[in-house]
Amino acid sequence: MSEFVRVTDSAGIREVRMLRAEKKNALDFAMYDALAAALESANAADIRCVVIGGVPGAFCAGNDLKDFQTMAAERAGLGAPIVRFLHALARCEKPLVAAVQGIAVGVGTTMLLHCDYVVAGSDARFMTPFVSLGLVPEAASSLLAPRLMGPRRAFALLVMGQPLDAQDAKACGLANIVCEPGAVEAKARKAAERIASLPPDSLAASRRLLRGQPEDIVARIDEEAAQFRTRLNSEEAVAAFRAFFERRK
């Protein structure tokens, strides 16, 4: 488990919170495993809804780029904890609500495509700089984003790396509502309580109809992961990461 992921259950609602504030909730392998475990165990627990949140100013800054360097050096592609988390998102049987404040970068944005309801603070900023790093989209975003927002908006976000502010995210369907940052947690909890109050069997059946077969999403996750592994060891990615870390010196 990870000290940077807190899981609490209350009244049928599981809250999963990322707490690595000093790194803006950049995810390391231990955090991925803890997030995956929280989603996997929710399937078998008396949980009616799961809320995923971060900290003020940072929902999730994406993957810890030092792990990318390690994966590239070991020619391992996406690490097993990352793939486990992505599969857990796709196979989660309980409704997912996200409470987004501040930055949501990379997987911080793409995980939202698996959520059923997203509350965004007016300070939220969404960005997926995969291609600029010599990589490809992940988390089945190449499948889910075009479905949600259309191929042109998906191309601008996932390939061109054009950021979205909170209102942009709402306009393209990535967020349901936008509110003041200080109200995000309460709004997300209220949505979760509303979902948890619905007849559970009808809710589950309706959600399955809306989402389609999870194995189709898992198959795209695995296809992207294979491409990611190839790209992570490419000259383009090596140069992009070298430039990134040199700028941070």
d(CA 202, CA 42): 18
pLDDT at 129: 95
- CB of 81 closer than 8 Å to CB of 128: no
Rg (CA), the chain: 17
56 burial level (CB within 10 Å; 0-12, 13-18, 19+): middle
Q: Is residue 20 part of a domain?
A: yes
Domain boundaries, position 19? 5-181
Least Cα distance to 118 among 138, 98, 93 occurs for: 98
CATH code of the domain covering residue 50: 3.90.226.10
- CB of 224 closer than 8 Å to CB of 138: yes
Entry pTM: 0.95
Q: Is residue 198 part of a domain?
A: no
Overall domain count for the chain: 1
pLDDT in tens, the chain (249 residues): 689 999 999 999 999 999 999 999 999 999 999 999 999 999 988 999 999 999 999 999 999 877 766 766 565 567 899 999 999 999 999 999 999 999 999 999 999 999 999 999 999 999 999 999 999 999 999 999 999 999 999 999 999 999 999 999 999 999 999 999 999 999 999 999 999 999 999 999 999 999 999 999 999 999 999 999 899 889 998 898 888 777 766
- CB of 77 closer than 8 Å to CB of 123: no
- CB of 86 closer than 8 Å to CB of 138: yes
Q: Is residue 113 part of a domain?
A: yes
Q: Is residue 241 part of a domain?
A: no
Location of structure tokens 């997300």: 188
Q: Is residue 141 part of a domain?
A: yes
pLDDT at 232: 86
* Cα–Cα separations (whole angstroms), residue 60 to 120, 130, 198: 13, 15, 29
Q: Is residue 209 part of a domain?
A: no
d(CA 26, CA 60): 6
Q: Is residue 206 part of a domain?
A: no
pLDDT at 242: 83
HEC per residue, the chain: CCCCEEEEEECCEEEEEECCHHHCCCECHHHHHHHHHHHHHHHHCCCCEEEEECECCEEECCECHHHHHHHHHHCCCCCHHHHHHHHHHHHCCCCEEEEECEEEECHHHHHHHHCCEEEEECCCEEECCCHHHCCCCCCCHHHHHHHHHCHHHHHHHHCCCCCEEHHHHHHCCCCCEEECHHHHHHHHHHHHHHHHCCCHHHHHHHHHHHHCCHHHHHHHHHHHHHHHHHHHCCHHHHHHHHHHHHHCC
* Cα–Cα separations (whole angstroms), residue 193 to 87, 119, 188, 207, 214: 25, 14, 9, 16, 25
Q: Is residue 18 part of a domain?
A: yes
